[in-house]
Amino acid sequence: MAKKRRDDLERAIEDALAPGAFIGYSDNWGFVEGVEAVRAKIVPPIKRGEAARAVALLEMFIAGCYGKSEEIDDSSGSFGQFVEGLFCDWIQARQAAKADPDETARMLVSWMDHDDYGYCHGLEKEAVVEGAGGRDPREPPPQGRLHARLRAPRQAKEPSFLDRARKRWDQGVGRGGGRS
């Protein structure tokens, strides 16, 4: 069986996040500039028809950022703002990939429900989850669906997407492994 080659952007994400290295307050700005440079390489594929690839990379990046949260002094809030931007990019990539808007809303709400660092605080105000192909005007607006999901009771004991992404990070990419 042929091995899959690891995506160069996966390596760039891992290198930029520097798992295991603590980022102090004085190094925060330079660190955020480095992760922003990687983010800038992930966003263009969305417009080149590689939205599904961008979705996967952004999900990995977000999970890696959650893993990095205990290793950074983000008193300035710049890293938190960066992660919030990743969520917005992820929504746009899912829309470009023509992903199911209800699934996107469900995943976003799951992230919001399990956000221990406040990266998703107020994200519902920024997020407009809509179908890529347009929607029936008789349907509730996308924000209404998102807000309805925010008010819906959570399913007990079902691992969230974020939990699964963190597990993937811990098992592979975050420890120098990754896909083989």
Q: Determine the pLDDT at residue 159.
A: 62
Tokens coding 125: 């105000």
Q: Determine the pLDDT at residue 149.
A: 45
Whole-angstrom distance, CA of residue 115 vs CA of residue 120? 7
Task: Render 119-130 in DSSP notation, one character per residue.
Answer: TTTTHHHH----
Q: Determine the pLDDT at residue 137.
A: 38
Going by C-alpha positions, the residue among 68, 139, 145, 77 that lies closest to residue 105 is: 145
Residues 6 or more apart whose CB falls under 8 angstroms from that of 73 comprise 22, 23, 24, 25, 28
Q: Determine the pLDDT at residue 109.
A: 84
Q: Determine the pLDDT at residue 178.
A: 46
Q: In the chain, which stretches have pLDDT less than 70?
A: 1-6, 126-180
Q: Determine the pLDDT at residue 146.
A: 55
Q: How far are the Cα atoms of 11, 31, 37, 61 from residue 108, in angstroms, in the given order?
A: 25, 26, 24, 15
Taking the whole predicted model, whether its pTM rises above 0.75 is answered as no
DSSP structural state of residue 115: -
